[in-house]
Amino acid sequence: MADTALTVPLRSPLAHAAGRLAAVTRTSGGAVRLAELPFLTQVNVRLDPKGAAADAVGLALGLPLPVEPDTVVRAGEQTALWLGPDEWLVVGPPGGQRELESRIRDAAGDEPVSVTDVSAQRTTLLVAGPRAHDLLAHGCSLDLHPRVFGPGRCAQTTLGRTQVVLVARDDPGAGFWVLVRSSFAGYLTDWLLDAAVEWTG
C-alpha cells in the first residue's frame, strides 16, 4: 500500500517520540543510542522448508532462508529472520513490500506459500551503543552476551512486558534491532527511556 500512495505523508508509530529517543543518545554521551527505523519493508513468509519453494524463494531473494532456529541471513539490504520452522520475516529498506511479495509468489509458482505484508505490523527500534546489552538486560531474560547472542542471531522473546523480535546486528558494536508491534511501540519506548535513565542521569 504505502509504496503507491506517494502523495500522502507517512506517519510512523514513534514519530511523536523521535525527539525523546534522540535525546537519550545525546545525554548518555553515546553510551546508549536509540532511534526508530520506520517503514522498513517486512514480509512474512510461510512455506515448507523441505519443499521446492524453499530453494526457489531463496534464489529469488538472493539469500537462503535460514533453517537454524533463531538465526538470520543477510544479503545486501535484505535480511531473512527465522521465526519458526516454516516461518520467516524478510526485512528490507522502506517501500519494497509489493515488489518483494510478488517476487516471492512468482518464485514459488504453484507451490503453496503464504506471503503477507506485515510492514506496518511492527516498527523497528535501533538499540545501540556500548550499554545496549545492559539496557536490554533490564527487561530481557535471554543471555545477550556476544558469545551467545552475537551477529547472526535473532530471537522472539519478551522485553519489558511486551513481545519483541530481537536481532543482533552484524557488527557487535552496532547493537540490536528491536522489532515491536506498533501498538506496543509507545509503551516500549517509555520503558526504554526509563531504563536508560541509569546512563542519561
What is the binding site for another protein (CB under 8 A)? 1-2, 4-5, 7-13, 16, 39, 44, 46, 69-70, 83-87, 112, 114-122, 134, 137-143, 145, 148, 155-158, 160-163, 181-184, 186-188, 190-191, 194-195, 197-198, 200-201
Q: Given the complex with another protein, which of 76 and 158 has the nearer CB atom?
A: 158
For residue 131, give the nearest of 182, 36, 201, 40 by alpha carbon: 201
Q: Given the complex with another protein, which of 55 and 86 has the nearer CB atom?
A: 86
Smallest gap from Cβ 16 to another protein, in A, equals 6
Give, as one character, the DSSP assignment of residue 64: P
Q: Given the complex with another protein, which of 26 and 145 has the nearer CB atom?
A: 145
Smallest gap from Cβ 59 to another protein, in A, equals 21
Residue ranges of alpha helices (H) inside 52-92 are 52-61
Cell numbers at 150, concatenated: 552475537
* Strand ranges across the sheet with 114-117: 72-75, 78-84, 87-92, 41-46, 114-117
Query: How far apart (Å, rounded) are the C-alpha atoms in residues 45 and 80?
Result: 10
Smallest gap from Cβ 38 to another protein, in A, equals 8
Q: Given the complex with another protein, which of 76 and 182 has the nearer CB atom?
A: 182
Smallest gap from Cβ 171 to another protein, in A, equals 21
Smallest gap from Cβ 37 to another protein, in A, equals 14
| Burial class for 118, CB neighbours closer than 10 Å (0-12, 13-18, 19+) | middle
